Amino acid sequence: MMGSQGAGQAPLFYAFNLEDHIPREHLLRGIDRFMDLSELRQHLASFYSHTGRPSIDPELMIRMLVIGYCFGIRSERRLCEEVHLNLAYRWFCRLGLEDRIPDHSTFSKNRHGRFRQSDAFRHVFESVLRRCMGEGLVGGEGFAIDASVIKADANRAKGVPGSQAHNWNQGEGPSRAVREYLHALDASNPAADDDEPPAPPSGPTSPPKNISLTDPAARWTAAPGGPAFYAYSTNYLIDLDAGIIVDVEATPAHRTNEVDSTRTMIERVEKRFDLRPKRLVGDTAYGAAPMLNWIVNDKQIEPHIPVWEKSQRGDGTFSRSDFRFDEQSSSYECPGGKQLTTTGNPPPKARCCSGRRTRIAPAARTSSAAARTRQTARSRAASMKMRVTSHVLYARRRPTSSRARTEKRWRCCLLTSNAS
């Protein structure tokens, strides 16, 4: 017998409990069991007025944003719609069936306002990290560092070359993204020389190739492969015991900025949680000499990082080990026995021992006790003196200029081409 749905009068009272309709194995139940936002109100108290109409509960907005992060809901407008329709989302946000959902514009105003000023997101992050530390999930002995590229919401076609001057105050005035970009430039380039910040461990930075007119803080990159685009990088410092992220830092998608964020995160974790790793794991991007010098000499951390080393050539040119240093004459000899000059390029008709025209490039000076490297960068920004020990490359930066001509800048034939 076929049944039919009754079309009688609706009941006057309903007995409905959200708790009974959320599966026991639902992801949000596990998150709610361990997420503690009891101190959030106290952290944000000074950023709210004591008079006026009551605001949206900050805990409600944080819980809604957690839902968006966990389920990949990037649009705040869509997030409000999903919370309105989904019973599990309502239960996690402590909302009843008749409670209203905040307007989507509330999120943007708070995210760029009091949430940013109070660093509320970092407060939530660190409260979760403290819970992980209390559960014994963070060892603090070994850390790993890496970065992920996040595509910026900026059109590839709306940009100008980095070397081209641009008036950011034209039109109706700079946007919020432009104001933040200009503020970051002022912070990294102080007017007073005596207030100059210490040099980053990765060395000097180069100007960007392209600058987005929509989001100038984003960096033009083709790191993932394919066409270049504007992007940011999220840099993670991860504890190796259970893979817990102990710190995160957002930077433009550029290797120099990513490497510099390592210093920021390691020092911040040490200051706030008294965690100082004994070893640090990373890829070759973090293996430049200044960075290794900071890790080993300044922080006494054992690096498990491949050295950014270009001495061994695979393009048919001479490798660094092919050249011999003569201590008596204090000069280098190429594989054919020719003595190398100390600076400058050879004349057009100059030939190396192999009969090929050569160009002078940086060389290394080695000894039985340690290996020392003196390298002059193409940008002429700095020269580095390095020595190799049994497990790591130590480095020390020293400036060079046209006045320091007394310094020896030994160079060798690394780049060759067939004679015409």
Is 0.85 topped by the overall pTM?
A: no
Quote the pLDDT of residue 407: 34
Quote the pLDDT of residue 161: 75
Give a three-class secondary structure readout of the chain. Answer: CCCCCCCCCCCCCCCCCHHHHCCCCCHHHHHHHHCCCCCHHHHHHHHCCCCCCCCCCHHHHHHHHHHHHHCCCCCHHHHHHHHHHCHHHHHHCCCCCCCCCCCHHHHHHHHCCHHHHHCHHHHHHHHHHHHHHHCCCCCCCEEEEEEEEEECCCCCCCEEECCCCCCCCCCCCCCHHHHHHHHHHHHHCCCCHHHCCCCCCCCCCCCCCEEECCCCCCEEECCCCCCCEEEEEEEEEEECCCCCEEEEEEEECCHHHHHHHHHHHHHHHHHHHCCCCCEEECCHHHCCHHHHHHHHHHCCCEEECCCCCCCCCCCCCCCHHHCEEECCCCEEECCCCCECCCCCCCCCCCCCCCCCEEEEEEEEEECCCCEEEEEECCCCCCEEEEEECCCCEEEEEECCCCCCCCCCCCEEEEEEECCC
Quote the pLDDT of residue 277: 93
Quote the pLDDT of residue 2: 77
Quote the pLDDT of residue 360: 39
Q: Tell me the mean pLDDT per 10 residues along the chain, length 420.
A: 68 78 92 89 86 87 92 91 94 91 86 83 92 92 93 81 62 56 55 50 64 82 83 93 93 87 94 93 90 92 87 76 82 80 57 43 36 36 34 38 35 33
Quote the pLDDT of residue 280: 95
